[in-house]
């Protein structure tokens, strides 16, 4: 039986963190790395765990690796503050750890919510994501944004979904996409990448076509159109900013 540490990175997450932590009471350990929160995030975390560490910001991937270093167990479940582990998912995780993991990492489907609405189409589901892993074999890519686990071998798949309450409203979505595109551009510029005309002018319309038509975003109605359009704008911004940031 493997014990489990849950790792969470936070900054000003008072609206989300209580719901997240309440879904993790079954875990052997909860480790939080906070970055200069000015709201009640740390206060709320203290109601659920004593393992709270303060760390300056190093980018999403590196921050999550630092959090894993503080964990006492080798098996890690990394959860974002706006995510929730359902009871069915918790039982499935515990079963894997009890029977002995067959893979160095496991992926989950994820249900992404826009406000109170679960978005099923347009590429938003099942949104498979690696989050359960053996830290002795797997770590996060140290990207500034869109970090991901890089398993050394094949990963296993779990069937029960994580809940992801990702965006409050359209304004929240637009603001975050603007921030993410800036981080992407900064990271690419640091390694000498500059977008060409195909990146800037061909990829955005293809992004819209893929998400709205091929991935059936049209089945979400006006929200599906908004998300597909916003994805195209994000694609344009992240490449255009490699020339201007």
Per-residue pLDDT of 54-102, as tens digits, reads: 999 999 999 999 999 999 999 999 999 999 999 999 999 999 999 999 9
Co-location of 213 and 161 in the same domain: no
Do residues 216 and 122 lie in contact, with contact meaning Cβ atoms separated by under 8 Å?
yes
Co-location of 16 and 89 in the same domain: yes
| Confidence label for 245 from pLDDT (cuts 50, 70 and 90) | low
Co-location of 92 and 141 in the same domain: yes
Co-location of 42 and 150 in the same domain: yes
Residue 147: predicted pLDDT? 87
Residue 146: predicted pLDDT? 81
Question: Of 167, 183, 209, at which residue does a domain stop?
Answer: 167
Domain around 200: 170-244
Question: Of 167, 190, 221, at which residue does a domain stop?
Answer: 167
**For all residues of the chain together, what is the average pLDDT?**
96
For residue 139, CA distances in Å to 13, 104, 105, 160, 178 come to 24, 10, 10, 23, 27
Residue 145: predicted pLDDT? 75
Co-location of 70 and 149 in the same domain: yes
Query: What are the pLDDT digits (tens) for 132-185?
Result: 999 999 999 987 778 889 876 689 999 999 999 999 999 999 999 999 999 999
Co-location of 122 and 203 in the same domain: no
Bridge partners of residue 31, in order along the sequence: 7
Residue 152: predicted pLDDT? 62
Is residue 32 predicted with pLDDT exceeding 60?
yes
Co-location of 65 and 110 in the same domain: yes
Question: Of 104, 139, 167, at which residue does a domain stop?
Answer: 167
Is residue 244 predicted with pLDDT exceeding 80?
no
CA pseudo-torsion sign 136, 137, 138, 141: positive
Domain containing 93 — which CATH number?
3.90.550.10
How many domains would you assign to the chain? Answer: 2
How is residue 79 written in tokens?
């959860």
Separation between Cα atoms, residue 162 and residue 89, nearest integer Å:
7
Residue 143: predicted pLDDT? 78
Of 186, 204, 202, nearest to 194 by C-alpha is: 186
Report the percentage of the chain scoring pLDDT > 70.
99
Co-location of 203 and 148 in the same domain: no
Co-location of 149 and 178 in the same domain: no
Residue 142: predicted pLDDT? 86
Q: At what angle do helices 222-244 and 170-190 cross, to 10 degrees?
A: 30
Please tell me whether the peptide bond between 36 and the residue prior to it is cis, using omega within 30 degrees of 0: no
Co-location of 92 and 198 in the same domain: no
Co-location of 151 and 49 in the same domain: yes
DSSP 51-105: -EEE-----HHHHHHHHHHH-SSSEEEE--TTEEE-HHHHHHHHHHHHH--SSSE
Q: What average pLDDT does range 202-223 have in this prediction?
A: 99
Co-location of 98 and 188 in the same domain: no
The count of C-alpha atoms lying within 13 angstroms of the C-alpha of 237, restricted to the half-sphere facing its C-beta, is 17
């Amino acid at each position: 039986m493997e014990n489990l540490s849950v790792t969470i990175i936070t900054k000003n997450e008072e609206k989300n963190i209580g719901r997240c932590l309440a879904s993790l009471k079954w875990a052997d350990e909860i480790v939080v790395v906070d970055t200069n929160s000015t709201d009640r995030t740390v206060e709320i975390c203290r109601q659920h765990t004593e393992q709270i560490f303060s760390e300056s910001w190093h980018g999403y991937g590196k921050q999550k690796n630092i959090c894993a270093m503080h964990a006492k167990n080798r098996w890690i479940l990394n959860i974002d503050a706006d995510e929730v582990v359902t009871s069915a998912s918790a039982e499935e995780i515990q079963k894997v750890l009890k029977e002995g993991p067959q893979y160095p990492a496991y992926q989950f489907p994820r249900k992404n919510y826009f406000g109170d609405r679960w978005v099923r189409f347009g590429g938003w589901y099942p949104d498979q994501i690696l989050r359960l892993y053996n830290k002795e074999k797997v770590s996060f890519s140290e990207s500034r944004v869109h970090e991901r686990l890089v398993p050394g071998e094949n990963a296993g798949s779990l069937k029960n979904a994580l809940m992801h309450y990702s965006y409050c409203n359209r304004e929240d979505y637009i603001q975050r996409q603007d921030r993410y595109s800036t981080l992407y551009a900064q990271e690419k510029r640091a390694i000498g990448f500059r977008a060409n005309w195909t990146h800037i002018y061909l990829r955005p319309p293809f992004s819209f076509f893929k998400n709205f038509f091929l991935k059936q975003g049209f089945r979400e109605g006006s929200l599906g159109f908004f998300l597909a359009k916003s994805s195209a704008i994000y694609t344009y911004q992240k490449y255009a900013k490699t020339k201007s940031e």
